């Protein structure tokens, strides 16, 4: 969906690996946008991606505040 996010105004996505306990980790995703309008346009894409992800994997997303290190950094 990266081309659709780019067209909606997303400019960057960063993926971080977050360690909370020994032997376990989470992935964190940070997005940057051209402006507030782009942020709003991308929200519908996030909802669509969440539904598709849950349909394909059976895993529901859980949003929690965390700290981590950057693994990938994509500029669109």
CA distance 17 to 68: 5
Backbone torsions φ then ψ of 66, nearest 5 degrees:
-155, 175
Rg of the chain over Cα atoms, rounded to whole angstroms, equals 14
17-76 per-position pLDDT tens digit: 877 667 777 788 889 999 999 999 999 999 999 899 899 998 877 777 766 677 787 777
What is residue 28's predicted lDDT score, i.e. its pLDDT? 80
CA distance 19 to 3: 30
What is residue 43's predicted lDDT score, i.e. its pLDDT? 93
At 15, the pLDDT band (50, 70, 90 cuts) reads confident
What is residue 76's predicted lDDT score, i.e. its pLDDT? 74
Q: Where are the alpha helices (DSSP H) in the chain?
A: 2-8, 36-57
What is residue 68's predicted lDDT score, i.e. its pLDDT? 66
């Amino acid at each position: 969906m990266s081309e659709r996010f780019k067209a909606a105004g997303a400019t960057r996505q960063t993926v971080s690996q977050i360690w909370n306990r020994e032997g376990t980790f989470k992935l964190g995703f940070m997005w940057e946008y051209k402006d507030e309008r782009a942020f709003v346009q991308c929200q519908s894409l996030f909802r669509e991606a969440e539904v598709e992800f849950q349909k394909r994997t059976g895993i529901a997303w859980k949003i929690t505040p965390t700290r981590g290190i950057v693994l990938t950094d994509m500029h669109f």
